[in-house]
Structure 1
């Protein structure tokens, strides 16, 4: 195709078409999203999320954005952590804003029950329905690779963070050794779509999700993108040999 394009799995598509295509995938998988992550990571995503929440270290009274957080998996971790901190030393309730582009994902998250600290909203990572410098921390877990313009989402994250604010992005990434890459590719392309077909009767969505991981920038490239968006103190922590990576940065 001529002109600017966006990635949708291994396909290059019109940027205006990608949001609808991605919405269709998550409309189909919303009810099984956590199961999907269990399948794609053999359950290890829960440990990665625990480590991410520990790194964010949410505190009582803080405002935290959980972007692409429709199921509330990360937000509930933050709520529990701030509540435990309140028991130790007091302080105001945290305010945790779950923003997801997909209404079905938000509905799936709310069906699991909510916490008093958590507010839910349908919104675009590239144009958050929030004012400038309103948040102490921003996290996005397994969501940024589905955004049409990743650089725009990074700039938007920086916009809503206060000076000193913390940015954390947990995403599937590039295994750091050739042996692990080959094993991961074999598992991803042969096993995950087949499990999707058998468990969810949806091979296509799982195939897209595997392909979207391969098209996402590697650890170093994404770190550079963060720096170009204005983040400082950019750091990368590989999980499970780089199968996933946690990117962190600060707003100075």
Structure 2
């Protein structure tokens, strides 16, 4: 039996998904940050601020920001003095981040093309692992979580910011209508790419609900796991510790 995984609302062969996701982010890289503002009304900036506040990056820490692409999370953590390695499977996204860092005059960030399921870093290399709006695009989420656990030092912390399913009555219906009907049109308007943004919305709908994803984090070996819903779970901050 073939190993199939979701690509938006479609089920595809697992061996094909990585290339398909890579193509999506190659297409949207140049307009990714502009589209984040357009889709969320700028709210993604507040979510990312809240996320980094939970991570509590400190001077002298080694932090891996996986799927860090354009640098939004890494730049925030870098300001706190942490040594941040920004990793992404997509070189076009990394190129955007490197250029943004140059314009901001930020030195000291490490940029590394990596597959979240097969990291090249040694065991126990980092004090914290962060991933924001990226894990739902991974082919095998369980493998990525195990890799996160492997590269963390004992006492290290895992933080994930990801879209989920809001539990607020009424709001979920409004958001579903907005995301399915309007977001692809925004993608066509701003990024000349309707299909890629349709996939991004569909990938949110196929992502495991908060309790299930928390269970996956525990299964990967993390303890003291926690979920912090934002807007009733439209977005959620997941965390856990390696002990």
Q: Compute the TM-score of the two structures, normalised by the length of structure 2.
A: 0.96
Q: Does 1:116 align with 2:107?
A: yes
* Equivalent residues in 2 for 1:204-243, closer than 5 Å: 204-243=195-234
- Please give the alpha-carbon distance, in whole angstroms, between the structure 1 residues aligned to 2:83 and 2:179: 37
1:110-152 CA-partner distances (Å, limit 9, x unpaired): 1112433310011100011211001000000000000000000
1:110 is paired with a residue whose SS is helix
- Please give the alpha-carbon distance, in whole angstroms, between the structure 2 residues aligned to 1:16 and 1:3: 10
- Please give the alpha-carbon distance, in whole angstroms, between the structure 2 residues aligned to 1:12 and 1:39: 29
- Please give the alpha-carbon distance, in whole angstroms, between the structure 2 residues aligned to 1:48 and 1:16: 33
Number of the residue aligned with 1:169: 160
1:165 is paired with a residue whose SS is strand
- Please give the alpha-carbon distance, in whole angstroms, between the structure 2 residues aligned to 1:40 and 1:230: 34
- Please give the alpha-carbon distance, in whole angstroms, between the structure 1 residues aligned to 2:15 and 2:3: 10
Number of the residue aligned with 1:250: 241
Number of the residue aligned with 1:89: none
Instruction: Provide the aligned length of Structure 1 versus Structure 2.
Output: 240
Question: For the Cα contact (< 8 Å) 2:124–2:151, is it kept in 1?
Answer: yes
Question: For the Cα contact (< 8 Å) 2:164–2:234, is it kept in 1?
Answer: yes
Number of the residue aligned with 1:30: 29
Number of the residue aligned with 2:118: 127
- Please give the alpha-carbon distance, in whole angstroms, between the structure 2 residues aligned to 1:32 and 1:201: 9
Unaligned runs of 5+ in 1: 83-93
Give me the CA root mean square deviation.
1.0
Cα offset, 1:242, TM superposition: 1.2
Number of the residue aligned with 2:41: 42
- Please give the alpha-carbon distance, in whole angstroms, between the structure 2 residues aligned to 1:128 and 1:39: 32
- Please give the alpha-carbon distance, in whole angstroms, between the structure 2 residues aligned to 1:213 and 1:137: 25
Number of the residue aligned with 1:91: none
- Please give the alpha-carbon distance, in whole angstroms, between the structure 2 residues aligned to 1:237 and 1:46: 17
